[in-house]
């Protein structure tokens, strides 16, 4: 009994892959471009961050050099108000009042109450 | 609406006008506003470092805030700072004014007034031997030649003065 066999030369090749022309560069080149762009971006960013930090440092040192001056002026004003409050209290209440301190810790406190002239 | 009462919390009433008591020596306050102070701060730091450090040490070692104990040191600090401002006003008035006015118009950002600052620093170094120096850094940011952060619009008067100074230097 004769059977249905493949042809003697074999079957013709089947085209299983589409013939699409390859576009663009090799993947490695795209990778390199990507890394290069990112690298430059990070370089610029980090430089900017460093410069910003130095500018901030400049501002802070400028303030540090001024701080004693500002504190001294403020202290002098507080002391002036403190002694004047004391003087006025003595005028009103006599010499019995020697100090305006409310707390017993002996610390200097900024005068809270303002003097109103009326 | 219909209230015609005078304001009772008027700030002019709340200022104590009495001067400091006579037992404490008087000292003239610096009397400069923010921009001139920022402008001269590094020169104050250069000349007055010993006084400033002495004052801060006194405040640190005082039992309370040291307001009364450190009045003497405070007067020294103020006198020294006043002397710096007076000297700069006498010797470098033009570039000083240029710089602090630029700062006033630039939100007190020092990097926006580099041109005026270069003129001021040069003048102050030549006349008073005071130098701007940021401590503890390798690179002084104000001497950086190509800074990334620049003002969007340069201060016009300082640009004119800077270019003029440059021209004079070359000729």
Look at chain B and report how many structural domains it folds into.
Answer: 1
Q: Is residue B83 part of a domain?
A: yes
In a domain? residue B21: no
With an 8 Å Cβ cutoff, are B70 and A64 in contact?
no
Task: Evaluate whether residue B19 is within a structural domain.
Answer: no
ipTM of the predicted assembly exceeds 0.85: yes
Contact by Cβ (8 Å): A68, B6 = no
Residue B18 placed within a domain: no
**Contact map slice: A 45-104 vs B, CB within 8 A:** 47-48, 51-52, 54-55, 57-59, 61-69, 71-73, 75-76, 78-85, 87
Domain for residue B8, yes or no? no
CB A62 within 8 A of CB B133: no
Cβ contact A107:B64 at 8 Å = yes
Provide, rounded to the nearest whole percent, the portion of chain B with pLDDT above 70. 92
Q: How far apart are CA A101 and CA B68, in angstroms?
A: 14
What's the pTM value of the predicted model, to 2 decimals? 0.83
pLDDT band at A90 (very low <50, low <70, confident <90, very high): confident
Contacts of B120 (CB under 8 A, 6+ apart): B39, B92, B95, B96, B98, B99
pLDDT tens, position by position, A11-60: 999 999 888 888 899 999 999 999 999 999 999 999 999 999 999 999 99
Nearest in space to B36 (alpha carbons), one of B91, B114, B88:
B88
CA atoms of B79 and A81, how far apart (whole Å): 21
User: Is B141 a member of any domain?
Assistant: yes
**B142/chain A closest Cα distance in angstroms:** 8
- The radius of gyration of chain A's CA atoms, rounded to the nearest angstrom, is 44
State the residue range of the domain holding B99: 27-170
Which tokens go with A48? 């900017």
The rounded distance, in Å, linking the Cα atoms of B134 and B99 is 18
In a domain, B110, yes or no: yes
Along the 171 residues of chain B, how does pLDDT read in single tens digits?
566 776 666 666 667 788 898 999 999 999 999 999 999 999 999 999 999 999 999 999 998 888 999 999 999 999 999 999 999 999 999 999 999 999 999 999 999 999 999 999 999 999 999 999 999 999 899 999 999 999 999 999 999 999 999 999 887
Q: A-chain residues within 8 Å CB-CB of B79?
A: none
Contact between B26 and A88 under an 8 Å Cβ cutoff? The reply is: no
Using only C-alpha atoms, chain B has a radius of gyration, in whole angstroms, of 21
Share of chain A above pLDDT 90, in %: 47
CA B54, CA B7: separation in Å to the nearest integer? 45
Let me know if residue B14 belongs to a domain.
no
| Residue B141, phi-psi category: left (phi > 0), alpha (psi -120 to 50), beta (remainder) | alpha
> Rounded CA gap, B112 and B84, in Å?
23
The distance of B69 to chain A (nearest Cα, Å) reads 10
Distance from the B67 Cα atom to the nearest Cα atom in chain A, whole angstroms:
5
């Amino acid at each position: 009994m004769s059977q249905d066999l493949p042809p003697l030369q074999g079957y013709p090749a089947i085209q299983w892959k589409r013939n699409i022309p390859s576009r663009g560069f090799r993947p490695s080149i795209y990778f390199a471009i990507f890394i290069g762009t990112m690298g430059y971006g990070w370089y610029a960013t980090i430089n900017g961050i460093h410069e910003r930090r130095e500018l901030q440092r400049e501002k802070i040192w400028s303030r540090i050099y001024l701080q004693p001056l500002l504190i001294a002026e403020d202290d002098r004003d507080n002391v002036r108000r403190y002694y004047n409050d004391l003087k006025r209290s003595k005028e009103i209440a006599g010499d019995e009042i020697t100090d305006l301190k409310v707390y017993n810790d002996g610390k200097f406190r900024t005068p809270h109450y303002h003097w109103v002239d009326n | 609406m219909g209230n015609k009462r005078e304001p009772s919390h008027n700030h002019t009433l709340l200022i104590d006008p009495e001067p400091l008591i006579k037992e404490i020596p008087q000292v003239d306050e610096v009397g400069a506003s923010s921009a001139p102070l920022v402008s001269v701060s590094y020169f104050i730091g250069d000349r007055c470092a010993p006084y400033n450090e002495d004052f801060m040490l006194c405040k640190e070692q005082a039992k309370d805030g040291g307001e009364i104990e450190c009045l003497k040191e405070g007067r020294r600090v103020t006198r020294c700072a006043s002397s710096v401002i007076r000297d700069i006003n006498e010797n470098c008035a033009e570039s000083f004014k240029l710089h602090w006015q630029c700062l006033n118009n630039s939100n007190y950002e020092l990097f926006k007034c580099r041109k005026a600052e270069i003129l001021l620093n040069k003048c102050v170094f030549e006349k008073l031997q005071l130098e701007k120096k940021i401590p503890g850094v390798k690179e002084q940011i104000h001497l950086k030649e190509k800074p990334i952060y620049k003002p969007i619009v340069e201060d016009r008067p300082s640009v004119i003065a800077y270019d003029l100074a440059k021209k004079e230097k070359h000729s």
